[in-house]
Amino acid sequence: AQRVTQPEKLLSVFKGAPVELKCNYSYSGSPELFWYVQYSRQRLQLLLRHISRESIKGFTADLNKGETSFHLKKPFAQEEDSAMYYCALSTQTGANNLFFGTGTRLTVIP
Amino acid sequence: DAGVTQSPTHLIKTRGQQVTLRCSPKSGHDTVSWYQQALGQGPQFIFQYYEEEERQRGNFPDRFSGHQFPNYSSELNVNALLLGDSALYLCASSPLPGGNEQFFGPGTRLTVL
């Protein structure tokens, strides 16, 4: 069975400080990993996916198969980064059935 | 394009009743997925519809059923409501059954009393 764990429900950092949101997964196959974000009063939206290896809004995430992790990082947090972040896993490349973690609420303190 | 739309916004039902939630996908999208998000939890996959058929299903009982119409819109039906069915129900659409970004709707908040 697959599982996504986000150990921090809440995370607060000061503006300009580095931020790392942790995500660990368990799955016996080769998963596809995603980060979704929900800003205040907005819909859940895709932030980035590991296969694209892009940097979106300054965020990056590297899939570490050895540690089964997909941590989200940004070197300098901005106030507009305050949001709810969800790590998600898909068990097949090209599948839409996402398995989500419980989410981390990031607050960037001005 | 309004993106993914869902109706109603809020709904209150009592135990044992039945409910139908509706979703219209983003223009150009033909695949619809439904998720249940309980308070404090991440979304949980219920099922996915493509070409008017259920293609994938998560770990939800048969009380949860769905339908997709020729115009790609979809309904989620829940029978014999339980208190534990109280949640935010999210609809997501994508242009293909797999390999693409999912676009989420605003959700329908269901409260079962």
Please write the tens of the pLDDT for every residue from B39-50: 999 999 999 999
Cα distance between residue A55 and residue B111, in whole Å:
39
- Whether the CB of B31 is below 8 Å from some CB of chain A: the reply is yes
Check whether A100 has a pLDDT greater than 60: yes
Q: How far apart are CA A38 and CA B41, in angstroms?
A: 13
Q: Using a pLDDT cut of 70, give the percent of chain A over it.
A: 95
B9 vs A: CB within 8 A: no
* Inter-chain CB proximity A96 and B41 less than 8 Å: no
Please report which confidence band the pLDDT of residue A2 belongs to, taking 50, 70 and 90 as the band edges: confident
d(CA B90, CA A48): 20
Element (H, E) at A99: strand A98-100
Residue B100 confidence class, pLDDT cut points 50, 70, 90: low
B30-70: pLDDT as tens digits: 999 999 999 999 999 999 999 999 988 999 999 999 999 99
Of A7-21, B23-37, B95-109, the poorest mean pLDDT is in B95-109
**Chain A, 63-82: which have a CB under 8 Å from a chain B CB?**
none
At residue A101, does pLDDT exceed 90? yes
Helix, strand, or coil (residue B84): helix
Residue B85, SS3 per DSSP: helix
Q: Is A46 in contact with B33 (Cβ distance < 8 A)?
A: no
pLDDT for position A56: 84
What band does B99 get if pLDDT is binned at 50, 70 and 90?
Answer: low
- Give the number of other CB atoms < 10 A from CB of residue B32: 29
- Average pLDDT of chain B is 93
Q: Does A52 touch chain B (CB under 8 A)?
A: no
* Closest chain A CA to residue B50: A96
Across the interface, whether the CB atoms of A46 and B102 are under 8 A apart is answered yes
